[in-house]
Amino acid sequence: MADVRVERKSSTNNNNNNGGGEVKEIRKVIMVVLTVVMLGYFVIWIVMPTNLYRNNWRTKMSATLTSTYFGTQGTSLLIFVFPVLFIAVLGSVYHHLGKKYFDYQVPRKDGKSSGVTRWLATWRRPVLVRGPLGIVSGVELSFLLMFIAFLVWSLTVYLHVGYSKIQVKGSQRYLYKWEATVFRLGLTGNICLSLLFYPVTRGSSILPLFGLTSEGSIKYHIWLGHLTMALFTAHGLGYIPLWAVAGEISEALKWSKTDVSNVAGELSLFFGLILWAATYPRIRRKFFEVFFYAHYLYILFVVFFFFHVGIGYAYYMLPGFYLFMIDRYLRYLQSSQRVRLLSARVLSCEALELNFVKSMSLSYNPTSIMFVNVPSISKLQWHPFTVSSSSNLEQDKISVVIKVEGKWHDTLVLVSGGSGITPFISIIQELLFISTTMKCQTPKILLVSSFKKSSGLSMLNLLLPLSSTTSDLSSIDLQIKAYVTREKVQSEDYLKQPQAIWFKPNASDSPITPNLGKNGWLWLGAIIASSFLGFLIFMGILTQYYIYPIDHNTNDIFPSAARTIFTTLILCGCMVVAASGAFLWNKKRNAMEAKKITNMEGITPQATPESRFYNADRELESLPHQSILESTEIHFGERPDLKRLLFDCKDSSVGVLASGPAGLRHEVAAICGSGLVDNLHFESISFSW
């Protein structure tokens, strides 16, 4: 999303000049170290297909690193696993320091933008709007083309090296080339697989280093998924006619003791194809349960991939998957407890706002996504909803909006500096907090929202939180242009106040607590470091006293499947112990805060839930609702002229966010990417998973 930054008073800055300066220098040093390690890691992947790496670098490293403690796996652990986990741990420290001493910076520009700024802004404009890739900026397209070039380079070099080793002449030579080709397709597919899980690691400490968020990186996961399955499908299916022509069809049923297992590869591909088919857009939209449950097949896909290639080669893709599994397990622990539903607001447009109690230590960014599970419907099904509240404005609550029927997000859009309705509500509430509490300057906001019927205008009531008693929209420079497309006369539904329903607390419910990721960077780094250290210790002991006495580092005696099972169990066991210990430690700390929230209603006899809720309702019916009406310009029977509205924004830097149907996002992207004006900076918020 577009950055929303403001300027603090100078007195605030002076308080932390010394400490903040030291932390800033430490973060610079950390970033330099991270950059060097990243570049070294990328270089290894680039040269890996070449003879230089295979015959020189790898040979020398294997001779040095092969031992009775890690066997022949020491090289892969050091080159492909350790650098990524080191980046993740050190990145956690980097983010912790940045969060602890975070300070707002001024975004306002009184003069013209510099040439570099305008050049960077040009690259961030959408260059592809319609097509299978969705909305793609110039920067994204550049990196995508570079990645495709890297895949082509890798495959080309792999094939060149592979063909050069074929000594057979005559009519059978093409069979060896065929085998070399399909084998190298699998090696190239592993490059995509090694990156596949990074974008969906929601508590990742690596994505923020590149200025990315998990919510905004879903499309990268989709691209990598398609590339992975395309290459693996060509790899797997390419062997079947090869075996048939060569008269070796029995190879399809071969599970080698110490070499590649063909059966495991076929099973991995089978589960991957089912998962891939379930991602078809029509299936995802109309049969979400199929799409959702099919994604659990990634577990079988990865497990049989390990059996197929052996754990030694699986180390190439292991870091991304390992970080994803830590994040997934932490989210499982967090979601295993019931949370307290505080209240609900029912709107006349049949939308529902749910307000949950959360720990005050839990913070999140506007437009964040929260997954909600309703056990009475399904204990396994989690649905994503955009958070519509601000963690700064409402420190003890978190809200989501649900539409009772249809695609609840299809009629919502905000352009030119803000975003409205569901994801945009959280942005406006965050700006309210910045303006009223921090007394900081905020940017101008133009909210353009389209609704099919006038009852949808009641969604504007959610711009202020239910518990708000002091904030009103007059403290920010907000202009709302609302368009009712299918009605020419306003009904009375918009004037109806939302029906607020308050729920009695249940003893088994607890506030939503922060996951040990973005809200606990040091804990995340400690979990990654301690679990990997434990894995190295136990794996070393197993290899030293059990595997090595049998195999003697020949990899020809000890079963590959057994080695894979032992390694996977030790890895998962260390991860579970480290993550569970950290979670339980934090759970005790959060229990005290939860107890305070639970007892908050009984502080005084007069402070009953009913009286507090009455005051909230009365406040909604006075100033806040009036301020919303005063800021709203309503148009009936027409659609917004987006081109005119955007071009009328004359400020030097205008952030444009679009949310809603694909056609609407594409139209806004096309306008911003047209190049007719240079002050529009576009970003799309898509609900398509």
Give the 3-state secondary structure of residue 387. Answer: strand
Asked whether residue 455 carries a pLDDT value surpassing 90, the answer given is no
Q: CA 650 → CA 419, 446, 587, 647, distances in Å?
A: 18, 12, 50, 7
Asked whether residue 486 carries a pLDDT value surpassing 90, the answer given is no
Asked whether residue 419 carries a pLDDT value surpassing 80, the answer given is no
Say if residues 498 and 468 touch (Cβ distance below 8 Å): no
Confidence of residue 418 (pLDDT cuts 50, 70, 90): very low
Cα gap 406→413, rounded to integer Å: 17
Amino acid identity of residue 569, one-letter, is L
Cα gap 491→94, rounded to integer Å: 53
At 337 the pLDDT is 74
Read off the pLDDT of each residue in 535-550 and give the average, rounded to a whole number: 94
Range among 96-105, 200-209, 388-397 with highest mean pLDDT value:
200-209
b/e map 256-286, b = 16+ CB within 10 Å: eebebbbbbbbbbbebbbebbebbeeeebee
Instruction: Please indicate whether residue 688 or residue 344 has the higher confidence score (pLDDT).
Output: 344
Q: What is the CA radius of gyration of the chain?
A: 28
Confidence of residue 154 (pLDDT cuts 50, 70, 90): very high
Say if residues 425 and 462 touch (Cβ distance below 8 Å): yes
At 301 the pLDDT is 97
At 449 the pLDDT is 81
Confidence of residue 410 (pLDDT cuts 50, 70, 90): very low
- pLDDT digit string (tens) for 309-323? 999 999 999 999 999
Confidence of residue 409 (pLDDT cuts 50, 70, 90): very low
Stated length of the chain = 689
Strands 654-659 and 680-685: parallel
At 493 the pLDDT is 58
Asked whether residue 3 carries a pLDDT value surpassing 50, the answer given is no
Specify whether the backbone of 421 is left (phi greater than 0), alpha (psi in -120 to 50) or beta: left
List, in sequence order, the alpha helices (H) in 200-297: 218-246, 262-278, 281-286, 288-294
Element (H, E) at 424: helix 423-436
Read off the pLDDT of each residue in 45-61 and give the average, rounded to a whole number: 93
Asked whether residue 425 carries a pLDDT value surpassing 80, the answer given is no
Cα gap 516→334, rounded to integer Å: 9
Cα gap 436→394, rounded to integer Å: 13
Asked whether residue 344 carries a pLDDT value surpassing 60, the answer given is yes
Question: Is 476 exposed, middle or buried (CB count within 10 Å of its CB: 0-12, 13-18, 19+)?
Answer: buried
- pLDDT digit string (tens) for 122-141? 777 888 877 788 788 888 89
At 113 the pLDDT is 53
Of 386-390, 467-471, 534-538, the poorest mean pLDDT is in 467-471
Instruction: Please indicate whether residue 585 or residue 624 has the higher confidence score (pLDDT).
Output: 585
Say if residues 546 and 116 touch (Cβ distance below 8 Å): no
At 469 the pLDDT is 47
Counting Cα atoms < 13 Å in the Cβ hemisphere of 646 gives 28
Read off the pLDDT of each residue in 641-668 and give the average, rounded to a whole number: 78
Mean pLDDT for all residues in the chain: 79
Counting Cα atoms < 13 Å in the Cβ hemisphere of 606 gives 1
Instruction: Please indicate whether residue 58 or residue 654 has the higher confidence score (pLDDT).
Output: 58
DSSP annotation of 459 reads G
Asked whether residue 79 carries a pLDDT value surpassing 90, the answer given is yes
Question: Is 105 exposed, middle or buried (CB count within 10 Å of its CB: 0-12, 13-18, 19+)?
Answer: exposed
Element (H, E) at 386: strand 383-386
Amino acid identity of residue 592, one-letter, is M
Say if residues 514 and 666 touch (Cβ distance below 8 Å): no
Instruction: Please indicate whether residue 150 or residue 480 has the higher confidence score (pLDDT).
Output: 150
Asked whether residue 45 carries a pLDDT value surpassing 80, the answer given is yes
